[in-house]
Each structure stands twice: as structure tokens, then as C-alpha cells.
Chains A and B, each alone.
Chain A
């Protein structure tokens, strides 16, 4: 198992290095550069040239990359040329807020998704099954910005139960903090239920028809025990992988949801830095998104291996 973990970790490092090179190269190819940004669009060209030299923007790109990467590894993410403040604290604050949002959403997606999948499988082919299918497909098929606006109109404008947007720190009161998380979480969860519930449903249906479930039933075990202890455990294996992928998808979801709900997290920071061509901030933020994605996948791999020894030992079944 240790060798397996080491192998996977090395792979994550490789992926992140590749992503960082890609991000750095792509952003360097954009028409706006940092010197231009620091001086503003009304600066004379000679001035921009002088600062480009000073900042080393005329060096070969690989030298610039090495400088940036070493800075990054030592925890120095540089300063945002636009906002004139260090990137690191700004980024960590945004990441922690986004993790609150995605954390809540992820737990709810797992619980509700598996629950719905299980219900649908047990009521296979009946009205409840179709109802769940339609509802979860609707969630995934209609884009998040649409659900966000529906949630805002219903819960903030009409009912007045939830704040329309924004974020309040916990120091304002735990309930105030929590209340600002409900609407964006609701939107994120609704948009991500389909994968988990559909997969749980189909593997559950398959498992329920397998000989060992029949055997368990034949033994005279109560149906509840058959379903929960024997069937569900095995049926959840593929669900776990898809859950990890969903965590990555959530990283994409927050870009939209945070913008609509004016939630100052990582997604907003990415949008802001793209809109204003704040390249150093953008590079750092994208790398963090990539890291979260890579680690979510790593955890899925490890969990899967732990649950299913066939993967761990690379045994092929004929």
C-alpha cells in the first residue's frame, strides 16, 4: 500500500508541475503584461518598456518561470500589481471561504445523492424512481446561473428568508455566517446530485440481482440488513470515484455560483483576475484550483484502492 501511495503522490507532483508550466506559458502569451497593468492604460510606452526591463519581463520565458516557481515554492506568491497587496493572504482567505462552501456542498451531495440513488434503486421502475431521475437531470441539465437566480428570487425576494448574496464572517454570529452559505450551497448541491444518484442507483440495481444478495435473502436476513450491510457497501465503490470527480467539478461550479451570489471566494478571485488581467493573481489561483482537483483525485484513488484490493495490487481478473 505504501508503494502505491508514493506512486500516486509522485504523479500528483508531476501533474501540478505540468499545470504550472501550462498556466504560466498561457498567461504570458496574453496581450496584457504586468508592467502595463502596474502603470495603467494611460501610461507612455517608454515607461512600460523601462518597467518591463526592471521586472525581467524581457528575459526568456523559462527563466521567468523558474523565478516564479521558486518564489511560489518558498511561499512567496508575489504582489497583485492591480490591488497593490500581497497575493498569499488574499488567496488563502478566498480559498478558506470557498472550502466552506464546497465542503458543505460536498457532504450534502454525498448524503442526498446516495440516499436518492438508493431510494430510486429500491423503487426501481416505479413513480418515485422516475421522479428522482427527472429532478436530478433537471438539476444537472440547466446551468447553475439559472438556478442561482431562481433561488435568489424565491428565497430572498419573495420569501425573504435568506440573504440575496454576500458573505459574513463567523464573528458576526454563527447563524448569520451560516445563513449566507445556504443559498449558494443549495444551488451547488442541486446541480451536482445527478452523477452520484444515477450511479448509486444503477450499481445498486445490479448488486441487488447478484447471487450473494439472493444468498443473504435465502439465509433469512431481514431486507434492511441485506440492503444496508451487504448490497450498499459493494454498490458504493464506483460512487466514491465519481464523488471525488464531483469535488473537482464543484471547483468549476463555484466560479459561477460565487459570482452570482457575490460570495468572495476563489471563484470570484479567478473571475476578477481574468477580467482585470491581474496575471500573478490568476496564475496563483489557477494553480490552487488544479492542486485541489489533483488531491481530490488522489484521495479517490487511495480510497478506492483501500476498499478494493484488486486495484491496489494491480491484479487482473480474467
Chain B
């Protein structure tokens, strides 16, 4: 009996304690991220968790809306010359940085020149490589001269690394970052949490509604989920798909899902045997059931696609159909290509990315029917750049959403594209022509047509197998109001409020 009373009193003490848990200020939203940030300087960020932070502190000249269209942000408007080589941006007036300085053309120029300087080492440098010069027409007007015609130029400024930073604080960005965004940097404790407070001078009047935002780093996914369930956090950023049903079943939580251009697929090396033969690539594609891969790898949280253009995008080719697997046809093509008895091939999968491992295993099992015997090898993701990319005949990889269709497609499929030469080494003249033409036109209808034909060509020539566009799912407490997940996977928190 004494033991029972003792146990019960511990239980009581603990449960009383749980009501008087950490007292957070009214209107503080707590978000859980999985990986610790290594960079606070927006130009140098490289991972999704860092982009979440960048989006809360900084603005670009343009911004991406939830429907993937682009509209002005720090720029009020922009115009392009007839040949799409001269672009003039008019800046919003009276925008204040967090340290009080007013935004002007020199800040934009300093930001861009810094990214273009190879010494900075920014990942965004290649996206801006067509910039020949940038100068100020007046304090609120910036003019870019480009070396090539580039229709999507304004869209690039919505990207993460190209956010505008103040000229006089560039050296301190990695310690005390200063931007124009809805939230102001307060403190950063590496591996633990990043604290942000409301920007009272934010140029979008009436926003943000929250007083503060805390980004907490919780590496273990079970602990992140438990923190959401126990109310210690309000938003679980990019939750694992296998937990979606559990969150949906909880009356206090909801799973907020959105289609994204983030994709995974089987990368085939088009330059070396056996996949240098288009018949072999086609044969493999004929064995693959993309709808089944979505179920197996994503637990249904995504959609099959042909290329990095997701089904949710206006440029997606709706006339094309996903053909069911055709093993007879696949065997025939293999025989024609000189593999009547099939062949053996190794496929690397990144061992830390469970979802991509599942894609690899699913494709292995599907390809077996046609005699393509794949040996799945789990390797560390960190070894990809050194040993796998561009060298192995086939492996599983995937890429995060890019801000525009051009940046998602051109570097990957144009024969001179930077990613193409690292991934599948695909050379197709008709695709080169289409992608170049799309860069030179400002006519949206024509571009949709060009990218539609591009998707047909990709289905016909199979550079690789893009399996799906993955959904982005956030676990959200029902106390949070006004939150919507976005396709770029960063968090739009300015319009969000929280019920006490």
C-alpha cells in the first residue's frame, strides 16, 4: 500500500508539473527542425532547415506565391527590354532593415556582387552567371545587363541565397544576421534553438501577427513527433510521411500537405553501358509502375511525374499518360539491344535517406520481371559526390524544389547544364533547342507549349526515371491559425497567429 501511495504521489507531482510547464510568451510560435543550421548567412545556406530560417529573416526582390507564380517583394515592379537582356527593377521605398538602415539600390548591388564573387562560395552563383553588370540608375532603381536573353530572370530573386542583405552589415551576417523580413534575429544557440522576434517595422503593414518565433533543433524524428503531440512545439516542419496518419488521428493536430516540385528518381548514366543505349533505358522504364512507387516510398504522399515539372504546375503536360508496365515490350527491347537474357547491374542508394532507399528497392523488384537484375548497395550519402555521381551506371537520388521551371530543368537536361554533367550526361539536340527557346520568350503560353513538348521528349528518350513529385507535409497544432504549407517548403509565418 505504501508503495502504491508513493507511486501515485510521484504521478500526481509529475502531472501537476506538466500544467505549469515552460511559460511561453503569448504569441510565440515554436517550430521543430531536424538538422542544426550551420550557416546564418543567406548566401551560403545549403539545406532545407536553413532555408526556413532565411525565409523568416530576409526578402528577395521577388517572391514565390503558393501557386508557384512569382510576384514583386522588395522590388515594386520590373521591366525587361525587348531582347530580354536588360532588366530594370524599381525598389519599394521606405523599407527598413532590422538595424534601422533604409533599403536602397546599393544594398541590392552589394548583395548580387557578393554572390557573383567566386570567393564568397555561394551556391547561387551559377544561377546568376548570365549577369554581365549591375548598376544603380537612381537610389531606388537597379539595372541588370545580361549576357544572354533570359525570360525568367526576375524569378531567380525569389530564391533562398539571393535574398537582399544590407551593404554595411555583410561581414556580420554569420553572427548577427540583419534582413528586412517579418522576424528579427534574437539569439542562436547552435544545435539547440534559434530565437526570433517580431519586426515591428515590417513593410507589409499589420504583419507579422506573432510576437516571436522559436526554431528548435530536434534531430530524432520520434522526439520531434512526441514534442508536437505533447504540445511542446506548434509546427513540426517537413514531417516523415509514415507519421501522417498518426497526426491526422490526433484531435489536437492536423497534417498540412502540399504538392511540391521536389523529386526523387533513378539516375541512369547515359554515357556508359548498359544505359548508353536508349532501348535499355526504355526497357527499364517499361517495368516501372510510378503510382506503386508513390505508395511504397511516400505512403501515398505525392504524385507520379515525367520530369522535375510537378503535376501541380501549369506547365505540366496533361495530355501525356502514365503507361502501365509492359514486361513483354521491355524484354523485346532488351533483346534488340543485345541482352536477350537480361543483365546484372549495381544500384547505389543513400543509406540515410529511407525514402530513396525504398524507391531503389521498389525499382529493383519491378525490373526483375524483365530480367534486369539490380543489386541494391547502401552507401553513405556523403560519398555520393566523390564516388557515385557521374560515375556509377545507376543510383537513386533526388532534388529539392527550384524556384522556377527553368532552374529546375535547364541545368539538368541541357547538354551544357551543370547538373546534367554530374548526373546522367544526357545529350539530346531537340531538348537543347526547346530549353534555349523557352529562355528567349516572355510569352507564357508559348513557354507552356515548349515545356509540354520537352516532357514528351523526356518520356521518349528516358534520360533517367523521375519517379514522383513528393508532397511536403507539416504537422500543425490546431492552436495555430492562418498557416498553409508552401511548395518551396519554407514556412510562411507572417500571417500566422496562435490561440492561447
Contacts and interface: CB of A to CB of B under 8 A. Distances in A.
Contacts of B189: 264
A160 interface: yes
Interface stretch (B14-22, B91-99, B435-443): B14-22
B446 interface: no
Interface residues of B, number: 41
Interface residues of A, number: 43
A269 interface: yes
Contact of A153 (B36, B121, B222): B222
Contacts of B123: 42
A30 to B, nearest CB: 12
Interface in B38-54: 38, 44, 46
Nearest to B223: A165
B381 to A, nearest CB: 11
Contacts of A43: 118-119, 121
Interface stretch (A80-88, A195-203, A235-243): A80-88
A47 interface: yes
Pick from A83, A172, A268 the residue with the most CB of B within 10 Å: A83
B230 A262 contact: no
Interface in B206-259: 216-220, 222-227, 229-232
B38 A160 contact: no
A156 B190 contact: no
Contact of B118 (A41, A47, A82, A168): A47
Contacts of A152: 220, 222-223, 226
A16 interface: no
A155 B21 CA distance: 14
Interface in A159-187: 159-168, 172-173, 175-176, 179
B135 to A, nearest CB: 25
B175 A262 contact: no
Contacts of A173: 22-23
A84 B17 contact: no
A157 B192 contact: no
A149 interface: yes
Nearest to A161: B14
Nearest to A154: B226
Nearest to A50: B119
Given A157-B226, A176-B22, A264-B189, A163 B232 contact: yes
Interface in A117-166: 145, 148-149, 152-153, 156-157, 159-166
B466 to A, nearest CB: 25
A160 B18 contact: yes
5 contacts: A41-B121, A163-B22, A175-B20, A261-B220, A264-B189
